[in-house]
Amino acid sequence: MSERNITTTPSTSRSIKSALLTLLVALAQVISAGVAQAADEYKTVAVADPYLEMHTGPGRGYPIFHIVDRGETVEVLSQRTDWFLVRGPDGKEGWVDRAQMEQTLQPDGAITAFEEADQQDFTDSRWEAGLLAGDFGGANIISAYGGYSLNPHVSIEVWGSQILGNFSNGWMGSVNVVHETWPDWRISPFFTLGTGVINTSPKSTIVQGEDRTDQIAHAGAGFRIYATRRFVIRAEFKSYVVFTSRDDNEEVEEWKAGFAFFF
Amino acid sequence: MESRIRVLFLMLPLAALTLSGCAATKNLFGGGKESAPPPAELPQGQVIEPEVERREVKEPEIDTEDFEIGAFAGILSIEDFGSDFVYGLRIAYHVTEGFFVEGTVGQTEAGLTSFEILSGGAPLLSDDDRQYTYYNLNLGYNILPGEAFVGEGRAYNTGLYLIGGLGSTRFAGDDRFTVNFGAGYRFLLTDSVAMHLDFRDHLYDIDLLGEEKTTHNLEAHLGMTVFF
């Protein structure tokens, strides 16, 4: 019996090893293919201004160390915030800001335009995700959410929160429907209704109490404020009813603020 | 006589057929250059056609590198519980050249308090409760971007940034609301690989040793991140 084990174990490990090796080789091939493909697929633009200024880093303070003359083409290697890493005809690489990049020409002669999220996308975008923190009936709350817009006015959101109090901790998950009355305003007010579950457990230093999971329902209102790019500032108030197994339902007020991205 | 004329008339198309056959074979063997159609030299009025072809070229997308992901390792000093090795993960999203948002998770293990060592009595916490894990969500600002020069011929982009935010720390059997702030130094080895040196203070309230107090838990770590 033991002999059998000894003979089978190495062969199994060998087959796993060979499988892993095959996987690694395949992965390496995929990566090298990806790199090779990426290497010759950079967007090229032609300089239309008298010259294009290359900075040593992606920021306003970094000095200009090189220029590319009008009529020459550059390859756009990557983008970081509002800066573009470009490679000039002489192989030099440097960072160019958005304003200058928008003065270059594409191969078909059209002016280069970069997709930049604006307030219109703030209104029309489908997906949104964010982080908020605040006060939940005297306890601290940290929340994350993801939302999907059915139309500019109505969206559905899924929330997950961690509640950190002096006497108890807990988590909460909920589903909301959000209605924005004026979604095209920069400061857009909204109303929300939802339901979910809350779990509370007393802190370990407190002897009494037990873990509870209860259903909740809530109504609330707040603002989504368009900040910049894909950035939204959000603040809201929600009033919760916790359907406890005791005689009385608990009511909790929540104030939160934070930020979100739309995409 | 009549039949002879008929034969002649028959011969004519036959000859034509043979000739055309010869021409065909000539073409087949590449000798028929003179009979090939004229090259596609379009008159001046027809320059529209190449433009249409150009529009079909799909422009490659520009690779955006606003995200930064990496790992770190260092030392975390837990108030009353000594200092220990800490390690974790970090992800950041650069919103503008100045501002970024960041999430970190880290883990360490608390040592013994001085009292536990001196008294030699029963430990305050079980081994499970000595596990110290945290997560933080921070807002950061690149306050002093710049360059560092190594030797005479090398320049690297660097940046000093400040961070502040909140999160939760699980320690001694409970989750605790944690505020953290600090400063870091980013040293870019290439345009997309960075080394970090970070100093942070994690603050939370704890009542483990009798009365509730706010503790400062100082962390210093070295990290490596990649922009993608």
Question: Which of B61, B94, B168 has the CB atom closest to A80's CB atom?
Answer: B94
Is the minimum CB–CB distance between B126 and chain A shorter than 8 Å? no
Phi–psi pair at A197, nearest 5 degrees: -130, 150
pLDDT at A51: 87
Question: Which of A60, A131, A230 has the CB atom closest to B137's CB atom?
Answer: A131
Residue A29, amino acid: Q
Select the residue from A164, A167, A204 to test the B interface by mutation, using most B Cβ atoms within 10 A: A164
pLDDT at A44: 85
Could you tell me which of A236, A231, A124, A227 has the C-alpha nearest to residue A184? A124
The tokens 């290439």 sit on which residue? B190
Chain A residues with at least one Cβ partner in B under 8 Å:
38, 41-43, 56-62, 76-85, 93, 106-108, 114, 131, 133, 140, 142, 162, 164, 166, 169, 203-205, 228-231, 259, 261
> In chain A, which segments carry CATH 2.40.160.20?
120-262
pLDDT digits (tens, 9 = 90+) for A115-151: 777 888 888 889 999 999 999 998 999 999 999 999 9
Residue B99, amino acid: F
All residues of chain A having their beta carbon less than 8 Å from the beta carbon of residue B63 are: 38, 77-79
Mean pLDDT of A110-118: 78
Q: Which residue of B has its CA nearest to A41?
A: B60
pTM, 2 dp: 0.73
Residue B226, amino acid: V
Banded pLDDT at B125 (limits 50, 70, 90) = confident
Banded pLDDT at A59 (limits 50, 70, 90) = confident
pLDDT at B138: 92
pLDDT at A250: 87
pLDDT at A243 over 50: yes
**Which tokens belong to A104?**
């270059």
pLDDT at B33 over 50: no
pLDDT at A7: 39
Kindly indicate whether the domain formed by A43-101 is annotated with CATH number 1.10.510.10.
no
All residues of chain B having their beta carbon less than 8 Å from the beta carbon of residue A79 are: 62-66
| Proportion of chain A above pLDDT 70, given as a percent | 83
pLDDT at A238 over 90: yes
Number of residue pairs across A and B with CB atoms under 8 Å? 99
Other beta carbons within 10 Å of B49: 9
pLDDT at B45: 59
| Beta-carbon separation of B176 and A83 below 8 A | no
Banded pLDDT at B80 (limits 50, 70, 90) = confident
Separation in Å, CA of B31 to nearest CA in chain A: 40
- Could you write out the DSSP letters of every residue in B1-30? -HHHHHHHHHHHHHHHHHHHHHHHHHHHTT
Q: What does the angle CA B71 – CA B74 – CA B79 come to, to the nearest 5 degrees?
A: 125
| Beta-carbon separation of A43 and B191 below 8 A | no
pLDDT at A14: 55
Select the residue from A43, A44, A65, A81 to test the B interface by mutation, using most B Cβ atoms within 10 A: A81
* Cα distance between residue B190 and residue B219, in whole Å: 26
Kindly indicate whether the domain formed by A120-262 is annotated with CATH number 2.40.160.20.
yes
The residue ranking higher by pLDDT, B203 or A202, is B203
CATH class of B67-227: mainly beta
pLDDT at A254 over 90: yes
pLDDT at A154: 94
Banded pLDDT at A8 (limits 50, 70, 90) = very low
Domain ranges of chain B: 2-55, 67-227
Could you tell me which of A216, A138, A214, A132 has the C-alpha nearest to residue A174? A216
| Beta-carbon separation of A62 and B157 below 8 A | yes
Half-sphere exposure of B146 (CA within 13 A, CB side): 7
pLDDT digits (tens, 9 = 90+) for B147-171: 999 988 889 999 999 999 999 999 8
* Cα distance between residue A130 and residue A191, in whole Å: 17
Question: Which of B59, B64, B188 has the CB atom closest to A43's CB atom?
Answer: B59
Taking phi over 0 as left and psi of -120 to 50 as alpha, with beta for the rest, A180 belongs to beta
Phi–psi pair at B19, nearest 5 degrees: -60, -45
List beta partners, residue B210: none
pLDDT at B24: 46
Q: Which of A69-73, A176-180, B18-22, B115-119 has the lowest mean pLDDT?
A: B18-22
